[in-house]
Structure 1
Amino acid sequence: MDEIAVAVAADDRYAQHGAVACASILLQHQRGCPVHVYFLSDNISKEKEAAITATVTRLQGKISFIATGDIAIQAHTSGHINRAAYLRLMLDQLLPENVTKVIYLDTDLLVLDDIETLWHTPLEGKPMAAVPDLGILCSKRMVKQKEATLGIPAGDLYFNSGVMVLDLAAWRSHHYGQQVLEKVAQGAFRHHDQDGLNLVFKDNWQALPLRWNVIPPIFTLPLKVLTHSNWRHKAIEAAKHPAVFHWAGRYKPWEFERDGAFNERYYDVLKETAFADVAMPQPSADMKGKSIGRQEFRMKVAKMWERILS
């Protein structure tokens, strides 16, 4: 039987969150094709690798760790964007040759629907598929910035790289990953390798439904989205029926005590992992003392708009 190949990448600091992401996949999977996780390990400790393995195998998944600590990457990093974020650009080289297709997922997300549905989504001959990024597309300022820096004109799509379906055979034959790394190495893009991916795959990617990557501009439904006639109703439907809930941006669920809609899903899935007994929350230095009150308020307002505009 064919396997569903899923790739995630993390360093030791994000190992726990990678385990939570993997658990969310397997908890939703309806046991069609088996799920095989390829975990790109950027110097994750043996103890944490063992905990990730225990999590995945208990939930009836397969896992293979791929050591990446010795790989040299010359690329711009900042804030919560670290070295591990660039490893996805090397999936065509790092995964076994017999893996010709893979779903890549960031580690700051949860899968809330059966991953097999995404796996069978046709790529329509494109080398990759991803979800349009409404944080960019609904911002006049950011649309102008992408046109100036990437040559993506207003009206064209720009995708978020946190969820991608990749045709690895095409990536290998065209050396797409290396192309992106070369573009990123030429300058410090505002959105790092995501900008590089959009530059290389401009007009050559398949758009996925918004529900497969529900980022903050969807789950908080700010005015820039609600007033955008092209995206308003699609965003509302995605917020109501998320297939992937993605904490893209600075606020992460594990940095705060469990507190309502913003992070309760993370804590629910954490209980199903071998990291269930770790000390929580885990705020980074620049987030100590901060609150998710504003995020919770925005989500409550978003629910109100969902009821009014649906």
Structure 2
Amino acid sequence: MQLNVLYGCDDNYAPYTGVSLLSLFENNKDIEEITIYLAAMNFSEVNLSKFRRLAEQYGRKLVVLDTERAQEYMKTYQCKGWNGSLATWLRFFVLEQIPEDVNRLLWIDSDTIVNGSLRDLIEIPLEGYPVAAVCDSVCYWERFRLGIAKSEPYFNAGVILFNLPVWQGNDVLGKMMEHLEKYVQYYKANDQDLLNDFFKGQILKLPMRYNLQGFQLGYPIRTYFSVYHWDESAYYTQDEAQSAVAQPCIIHFFRFLGDYPWQQGKNYHPVRERYLRWQARSPWKEHPGAPKRTDAVFKVEKFLYRLLPKKCFLHLFAWFTNRKVPKVPVDIRARENIK
């Protein structure tokens, strides 16, 4: 069995990506062959050498991809950054460098911990779908910007399983680039909007355990579902969510109250201790993490989180994050009358 994984980040996120990679190697010793494709954007030689030593330590293959062409794509399409970096777009722009004999490619975000074996995931029947992903945990109304109704799923781009033969046989990459050129100006969630807009109706829904988002670990499942009234066809049942929380395979951090697990200062992230344990085992164990957030809005958010009951706080959070999103789906194509 062979597992092909794509990671991508800039040098600032290299330590966090490395911690994720360590957890993947350690929890997937049951897989015979693992090849890591690393889209190393503006990496220092120090970080790159740590990745190479880590792969060598576990007897795995590391292929470093050239990101210069990808960065040219980002400029051409005027892609917007996320948290000050354009690296989030790498998952799509480096696909042309993946060898043609690779059938399945698993993209994993940097802010993750692989908590179990990926063997079952890479054996999931893809049934002709070009991509497979897990639904997003917080973008309840965000979908409406893209014309995605409440009864339709909106997916998180943190973990994507690519069915590359479908891409190669239908020029999916070329068509996606043409689509991006027309609509990138409307995207607020960047590559995640591209995933949901271009591939609408063509995304296989994966079990939640393959992208359990840290937000779902911060609140009881019943509380979460009482605030976010998901249509089961567009999301998961409470039982499915509870099962994923009990046995997560990939844990995707997200910011929680403005912080990632590696943020300095008072940090309430539900995955912080788990992340720090993995970091302590990694070649980046001395990395200090990111400076604490001093933004006023996050200070208020943390104060209210401590003050209010969890359900009340979650209602307030959901209202604040979704207050400007229209309640009726608006297809972005209608804005230019493009058919």
TM (normalized to structure 1)?
A: 0.83
Query: Structure 2 CA distance, aligned partners of 1:125 and 1:214?
Result: 25
Q: CA deviation at 1:85?
A: 1.0
Query: Structure 2 CA distance, aligned partners of 1:112 and 1:85?
Result: 22
Q: Where does 1:78-97 land on structure 2 (aligned, <5 Å)?
A: 78-80=81-83, 82-97=85-100
Query: Matched residue of 2:68: which SS?
Result: coil
User: Which of the residues 97, 105, 108 maps onto 1:105?
Assistant: 108
Which residue does the alignment assign to 1:247? 253
Q: CA deviation at 1:301?
A: 6.0
User: Which of the residues 276, 291, 308 maps onto 1:267?
Assistant: 276
The aligned length equals 292
Query: Structure 2 CA distance, aligned partners of 1:288 and 1:53?
Result: 40
Query: Matched residue of 2:195: which SS?
Result: helix
Query: Structure 2 CA distance, aligned partners of 1:131 and 1:168?
Result: 18
Query: Structure 2 CA distance, aligned partners of 1:295 and 1:256?
Result: 20
Query: Matched residue of 2:248: which SS?
Result: coil
| Structure 1 letter corresponding to 2:33 | P
| Pair 1:64–1:155, CA change in 2 (3 A) | same
Which residue does the alignment assign to 2:333? none
Identity %: 22
Contact 2:8 2:88 in 1 (8 A): yes
Judge which range, 190-199 or 75-84, deviates more.
Answer: 75-84
Query: Structure 1 CA distance, aligned partners of 2:17 and 2:304?
Result: 23
Which residue does the alignment assign to 1:196? 194
Q: CA deviation at 1:200?
A: 1.4
Q: Which has the larger radius of gyration?
A: 2
Which residue does the alignment assign to 2:152? 156
Contact 2:260 2:269 in 1 (8 A): no
| Pair 1:285–1:264, CA change in 2 (3 A) | closer
Judge which range, 167-176 or 188-197, deviates more.
Answer: 167-176
| Structure 1 letter corresponding to 2:226 | L
Which residue does the alignment assign to 1:132? 135
Query: Structure 1 CA distance, aligned partners of 2:158 and 2:101?
Result: 24
Q: Where does 1:222-301 land on structure 2 (aligned, <5 Å)?
A: 223-227=223-227, 228=229, 230=232, 231-249=237-255, 250-256=258-264, 261-278=270-287, 280-283=288-291
Which residue does the alignment assign to 1:214? 212
What RMSD, in angstroms, separates the aligned Cα atoms of the two structures? 3.0
Deviations 1:204-256 (A, max 9, x none): 12111111111134222374523537333322222222111111245211113
Gaps of 5+ in 1: 303-310
Query: Structure 1 CA distance, aligned partners of 2:143 and 2:269?
Result: 35
Gaps of 5+ in 2: 312-339
Judge which range, 282-291 or 198-207, deviates more.
Answer: 282-291
Contact 2:82 2:88 in 1 (8 A): no
Q: CA deviation at 1:59?
A: 2.8
Query: Structure 1 CA distance, aligned partners of 2:151 and 2:121?
Result: 26
Q: CA deviation at 1:101?
A: 1.4
